[in-house]
């Protein structure tokens, strides 16, 4: 079996993880029509007749008039989804927002936990409320595995905390570092979660159509407009391959521990069709900016989530391929050589990509 055919089959299964839950598909922006078909096929929306009495015909004659039985089932599923949307986003207002998708692959499939919001030691979230759309990534520091810790648990818990804060409206869109700080405080209160991670959040405020961003460490983002990268986050490191990180070390251990206040802050007024790529270092360590630009130009102004998903998947596969190419002069290898380390090839790592297009009339 060739490497690419094996990888293709694996990628098909694990590009977007987390099981068949409505919130996951809505967060990944899979169209409702496709979502309905999957819900029907998997039998997830098993609702009784009484629950759907307000939308379903009450007699067989009415059912015939409304269409076939299959169409009726589809209608019931659609009504269920609409109820979920109304309940989850009842205070959602029209205005600028993200059309966003996520894709990723863990470095090691055999030892990785597959759940929504996580690829290996990487974690991510997509959330919104009436004031803002927010996307975020975190990369758990793998060195804690030597101490018997799961690096992915720290990053996952941090991103879950940030997601809940956004959905609850418990943050100020213009202060993304405050979102990280509150999420981090939540982790510090959880005595059982130890480790550290980088973190990056990008907030689109509906009030002023401005991106407010906070980046701590070597994850990051780029913004594409009119075929050019108009903004790129600054990487923060203490030294080669030693990023800034939020930390909760186990008792008796000492590690790097940076404050959320140390995050690099930036803001940018957005335009309709702007493209934002938010990713962990598994992307930036392996793909030079020229390769990223070539892919992002293809989706400039694109608001079809399926096309965005295809682009995100392509970027992930490119990064994965180069990561295991021992002869390619990757950005990571170039950086290593600049620091006196004789290195060549890509850097095998977990890979997470969040791709978003700004829609001013979402």
Question: CB neighbours of 357 closer than 8 A, spacing ≥ 6?
Answer: 98, 99, 100, 273, 274, 275, 276, 299, 301, 302, 303, 308
Q: What mean pLDDT is predicted for residues 50-79?
A: 39
Report d(CA 215, CA 202) in Å as an integer: 9
Question: pTM, whole model, 2 decimals?
Answer: 0.77
pLDDT for 193 equals 95
CB atoms inside a 10 Å sphere around CB 340: 7
Q: Where are the alpha helices (DSSP H) in 208-362?
A: 281-284, 289-297, 305-323, 331-338
pLDDT tens digits along 94-125: 689 999 999 999 999 888 888 999 999 999 99
What end-to-end distance do the CA atoms of the chain give, in Å?
Answer: 45
Q: Are 324 and 6 in contact, with CB atoms under 8 Å apart?
A: no
**Cβ count within 10 A of residue 76:** 20
At 113 the pLDDT is: 83
CA–CA distance, 361 with 354 (Å, rounded to integer): 21
Mind listing the pLDDT tens digit for each residue in 287-345? 999 999 999 999 999 999 999 999 999 999 999 999 999 999 999 999 999 999 999 99
Report yes or no: 215 and 233 within 8 Å, Cβ to Cβ: yes
SS3 category, 246: strand
Residues 220-238 have a mean pLDDT of 98
Measured CA to CA, the distance from residue 226 to residue 245 in angstroms comes to 33
d(CA 285, CA 349): 9
Backbone angles phi, psi at 304, to 5 degrees: -85, 115
The stretch 135-159 carries a mean pLDDT of 96
Average pLDDT over residues 12-16: 46
Domain 97-359 fold: Phosphatase 2c; domain 1 (3.60.40)
Instruction: Identify the top-confidence range among 2-16, 93-107, 172-186, 246-260.
Output: 172-186
How far apart are alpha carbons 277 and 297 in whole angstroms? Answer: 12
Yes or no: say if 68 and 87 are a contact pair by the CB < 8 Å rule.
no
Phi, psi of 15 (to 5 degrees): -55, -45
The answer to whether residue 243 scores a pLDDT higher than 50 is yes
* Domain limits, the chain: 3-90, 97-359
Q: Highest mean pLDDT: which of 2-6, 214-218, 249-253?
A: 214-218
Check residue 253 and give its pLDDT.
85
- pLDDT digits 0-9 by tens, 26-62: 333 333 344 334 443 444 333 333 333 333 333 333 4
């Amino acid at each position: 079996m060739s490497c690419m055919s094996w990888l293709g089959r694996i990628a098909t299964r694990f590009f977007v993880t987390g099981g068949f839950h409505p919130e996951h598909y809505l967060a990944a922006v899979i169209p409702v029509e496709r979502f309905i078909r999957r819900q029907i096929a998997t039998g997830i929306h098993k609702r009784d007749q009484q629950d759907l009495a307000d939308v379903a015909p009450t007699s067989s004659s009415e059912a015939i008039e409304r269409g076939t039985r299959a169409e009726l089932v589809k209608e019931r599923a659609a009504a269920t989804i609409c109820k979920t949307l109304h309940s989850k986003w009842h205070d959602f207002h029209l205005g600028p927002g993200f059309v966003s998708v996520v894709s990723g692959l863990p470095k090691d499939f055999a030892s990785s936990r597959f759940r929504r919001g996580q690829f290996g030691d990487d974690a991510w979230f997509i959330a919104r409320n009436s004031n803002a759309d927010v996307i975020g990534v975190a990369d758990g520091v793998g060195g804690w595995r030597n101490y018997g810790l799961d690096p992915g648990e720290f990053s996952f818990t941090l991103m879950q905390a940030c997601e809940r804060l956004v959905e609850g409206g418990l943050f100020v869109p213009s202060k993304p570092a405050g979102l990280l700080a509150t999420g981090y405080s939540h982790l510090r209160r959880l005595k059982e979660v130890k480790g550290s991670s980088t973190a990056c959040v990008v907030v689109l405020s509906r009030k002023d159509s401005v991106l407010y961003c906070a980046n701590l460490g070597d994850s990051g983002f780029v913004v594409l407009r009119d075929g050019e990268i108009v903004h790129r986050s600054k990487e923060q490191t203490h030294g080669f391959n030693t990023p800034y990180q939020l930390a909760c070390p186990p008792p008796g251990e000492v590690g790097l521990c940076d404050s959320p206040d140390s995050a690099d802050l930036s803001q940018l007024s957005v335009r309709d069709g702007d493209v934002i790529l938010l990713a962990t270092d598994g992307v930036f360590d392996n793909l030079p900016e020229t390769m990223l630009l070539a892919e992002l130009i293809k989706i400039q102004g694109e608001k079809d989530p399926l096309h965005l998903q295809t682009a995100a998947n392509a970027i992930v596969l490119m990064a994965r391929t180069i990561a295991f190419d021992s002869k390619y002069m990757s950005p990571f290898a170039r950086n290593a050589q600049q620091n006196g380390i004789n290195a060549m090839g890509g850097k095998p790592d977990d890979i997470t990509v969040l791709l978003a297009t700004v829609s001013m009339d979402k």
